[in-house]
């Protein structure tokens, strides 16, 4: 069908924030947006109905690395792609697996050709190349697919960072070439987003952003940040990347972050975010709320019969109390994981929705500066 398009609707006066609409063959996404992470094709502890109706998710993520290992591409192809397999018929984005190979797999070895690794599940040996990763993402069938990249650790030596960036750029060319050679499998268009790398070196980041921009892709991503560098440094390099990316294409900051990281990222011109934090931290009892951060396991909530988040217009967060959710955590009930995940994701989606409204109203920067100290409070 049609390639992804991006329509810019509003820009903030006092920051680089933008509001737009991404159109994919599986529907539209109002930006700025947060994308819940569904690593193995499931946003942990949450059903597709809850994602759609309660959390108001507009796009979810999957991971090439995990889906390739389990259930594997033959099953996904027989199902007719991931949308059919997991029943989420809105837009899906898949990460390329490069990042996951380096964070999860064992005995990794990087060559010009690609990455050799052993599965974290059963130790079996595999090789990812730009070509194989494009083929796997064709079989998964996400609307947005990511280039195969290397994310260098922080800190990295300049020489290593430069060589790694050059390798990522060569891999990118191979990704585009492979994609052009292979047809869409399921009758809708898959859009490849290239990824900027370059570690924390200004000249490398600038060069990488310009190289990525020259590809004229449907959208662009910033990788290699939020890997342990100070927050201020992450913002500085996000800004540098955005300055070198086209205005009229969506920008995706990969793996970010806390609610305040997201609000700062939006101010710098980012449109798309993903992070495991709302689900992973939620399962550990850490709640992000409109009034600040709550550790729901704390004894202080044992008899607090107020809603999980009275300020959040979300059914679950208004209906259940903090005392009840604390009890579920202490009693090791699986409903605790569900409610915490639904709450945190609802909060993240609400937050980006509010950001969008304030960009459209033209007062984003002052709203953001007012709300961040509130969100950071430890309750
Ligand atoms: N590359 C890819 N996925 C990612 C990252 C990256 O650099 C990051 C870095 N924050 C998160 N996810 N492919």
User: What is the ipTM score, two decimals?
Assistant: 1.00
| pLDDT at position 107 | 87
Average pLDDT on 62-87 reads 98
- Say yes or no: 99 and 159 in one domain: yes
Pocket of ligand 1 (CB under 6 A): 95-96, 98-99, 146, 149, 151, 195, 223-227, 254-255
- Say yes or no: 203 and 347 in one domain: no
Assign 98 a pLDDT band (cuts: 50, 70, 90).
confident
- Say yes or no: 267 and 302 in one domain: no
pLDDT digits (tens, 9 = 90+) for 141-198: 999 999 999 999 999 999 999 999 999 999 999 999 999 999 999 999 999 999 999 9
Final residue of a domain: which of 281, 313, 345?
A: 281
Final residue of a domain: which of 246, 265, 281?
A: 281
pLDDT at 330 over 90: yes
| pLDDT over 90 percentage in the chain | 98
| pLDDT at position 370 | 98
User: Looking at ligand 1, which atom is closest to the CA of residue 147?
Assistant: 13
3-state secondary structure of 151: coil
Q: Which residue in the block uniquely carries the two structure tokens 């200004």? A: 202
pLDDT at 279 over 90: yes
Q: Does 265 count as an annotated binding residue?
A: no
User: Looking at ligand 1, which atom is closest to the CA of residue 223?
Assistant: 7
| pLDDT at position 84 | 98
- Say yes or no: 276 and 322 in one domain: no
Taking the CA atoms of residue 69, residue 71, residue 77 and residue 82 in that order, the dihedral angle to the nearest 10 degrees is -100
**Sheet with 195-196, side-by-side order of all strands:** 33-35, 272-274, 251-253, 220-222, 195-196
Average pLDDT on 217-239 reads 98
Taking CA atoms only, the protein residue closest to ligand 1 atom 6 is 223
pLDDT at 105 over 90: no
Considering only 100-114, 316-330, 350-364, which range has the smallest mean pLDDT? 100-114
Pocket test for ligand 1, best of 35, 253, 255, 280 (most atoms within 8 A of CB): 255
Average pLDDT, the chain: 97
Assign 250 a pLDDT band (cuts: 50, 70, 90).
very high
- Say yes or no: 262 and 310 in one domain: no
Kindly give the distance from the C-alpha atom of residue 223 to the centroid of ligand 1, in angstroms, as a whole number.
Answer: 5
Average pLDDT on 87-91 reads 98
H helices present in the chain, as ranges: 48-49, 64-69, 73-79, 82-86, 98-104, 130-140, 158-181, 202-214, 231-243, 259-267, 277-283, 315-319, 322-330, 334-361, 364-376
Measure Cα distances from 19 to 3, 251, 252, 274, 371 in Å: 20, 12, 13, 17, 19
Q: Does 99 count as an annotated binding residue?
A: yes
Region of residue 359 (phi > 0: left; psi between -120 and 50: alpha; otherwise: beta):
alpha
- Say yes or no: 175 and 236 in one domain: yes
Average pLDDT on 248-261 reads 98
- Say yes or no: 98 and 112 in one domain: yes
- Say yes or no: 165 and 118 in one domain: yes
pLDDT digits (tens, 9 = 90+) for 286-299: 999 999 999 999 99
| pLDDT at position 243 | 98
Alpha carbon distance 165, 152 (integer Å): 9
Which of 13, 61, 41, 54 has the alpha carbon at shortest distance from 274? 61
Q: Does 224 count as an annotated binding residue?
A: yes
How many structural domains are present in the chain?
2
pLDDT at 331 over 90: yes
- Say yes or no: 265 and 320 in one domain: no
- Say yes or no: 176 and 28 in one domain: yes
DSSP class of 52: I
3-state secondary structure of 152: coil
Alpha carbon distance 337, 61 (integer Å): 19
Structural domain boundaries, residue 19:
5-281
Q: Find out whether 220 and 226 touch, Cβ atoms under 8 Å.
A: no
Final residue of a domain: which of 252, 281, 310?
A: 281
CATH of the domain at 195: 3.20.20.105
**Helix 322-330, helix 334-361: angle, nearest 10:** 140
Q: Find out whether 292 and 258 touch, Cβ atoms under 8 Å.
A: no
Alpha carbon distance 280, 341 (integer Å): 8
pLDDT at 1 over 90: no
Average pLDDT on 364-376 reads 98
Alpha carbon distance 229, 91 (integer Å): 31
- Say yes or no: 192 and 306 in one domain: no
pLDDT digits (tens, 9 = 90+) for 15-46: 999 999 999 999 999 999 999 999 999 999 99
Please calculate the CA angle 52-56-62 and round it to the nearest 5 degrees. Answer: 65
Assign 75 a pLDDT band (cuts: 50, 70, 90).
very high
Alpha carbon distance 318, 307 (integer Å): 5
- Say yes or no: 311 and 253 in one domain: no
Average pLDDT on 263-271 reads 99
Pairing, β 115-118 against β 125-128? antiparallel
């Amino acid at each position: 069908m049609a390639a992804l398009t991006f329509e810019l609707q509003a820009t903030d006066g006092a920051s680089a924030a933008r509001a737009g609409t991404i159109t994919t063959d599986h529907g539209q996404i109002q930006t700025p947006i947060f994308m819940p992470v569904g690593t193995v094709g499931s946003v942990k502890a949450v059903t597709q109905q809850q994602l759609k109706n309660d959390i108001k998710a507009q796009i979810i993520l999957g991971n090439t690395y995990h889906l390739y290992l389990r259930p594997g591409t033959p099953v996904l192809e027989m199902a007719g792609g991931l949308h059919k397999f997991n029943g989420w018929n809105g837009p899906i984005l898949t990460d390329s697996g490069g990042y996951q190979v380096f964070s999860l797999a064992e005995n990794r070895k990087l060559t010009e050709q690609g990455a050799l690794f052993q599965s974290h599940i059963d130790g079996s040996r595999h090789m990812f190349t730009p070509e194989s990763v494009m083929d796997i993402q064709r079989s998964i069938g996400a609307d947005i697919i990511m280039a195969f990249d290397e994310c260098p650790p922080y800190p990295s030596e300049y020489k290593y960072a430069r060589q790694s960036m050059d390798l990522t750029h060569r891999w990118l060319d191979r990704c585009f070439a492979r994609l052009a050679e292979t047809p869409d499998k399921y009758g809708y268009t898959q859009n490849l987003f290239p990824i900027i790398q370059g570690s924390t070196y200004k000249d490398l980041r600038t060069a990488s952003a310009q190289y990525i921009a020259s590809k004229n892709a449907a959208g662009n991503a910033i990788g290699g940040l939020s890997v342990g560098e100070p927050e201020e440094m992450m913002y500085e390099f996000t800004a540098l990347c955005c300055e070198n990316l086209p205005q009229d294409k969506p920008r995706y900051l990969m793996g970010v972050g806390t609610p305040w990281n997201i609000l700062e990222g939006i101010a710098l011109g980012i449109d798309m975010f993903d992070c495991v934090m709302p689900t992973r931290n939620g399962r550990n009892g850490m709640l992000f709320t409109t009034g600040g951060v709550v550790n729901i396991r704390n004894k202080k909530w044992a008899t607090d019969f107020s809603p999980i988040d009275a300020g959040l217009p979300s059914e679950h967060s208004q209906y259940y109390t903090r005392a009840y959710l604390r009890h579920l955590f202490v009693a090791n009930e699986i409903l605790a994981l569900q409610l915490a995940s639904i709450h945190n994701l609802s909060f993240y989606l609400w937050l980006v929705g509010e950001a969008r409204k304030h960009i459209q109203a033209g007062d984003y920067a002052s709203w953001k500066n007012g709300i961040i100290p509130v969100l950071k409070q430890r309750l």
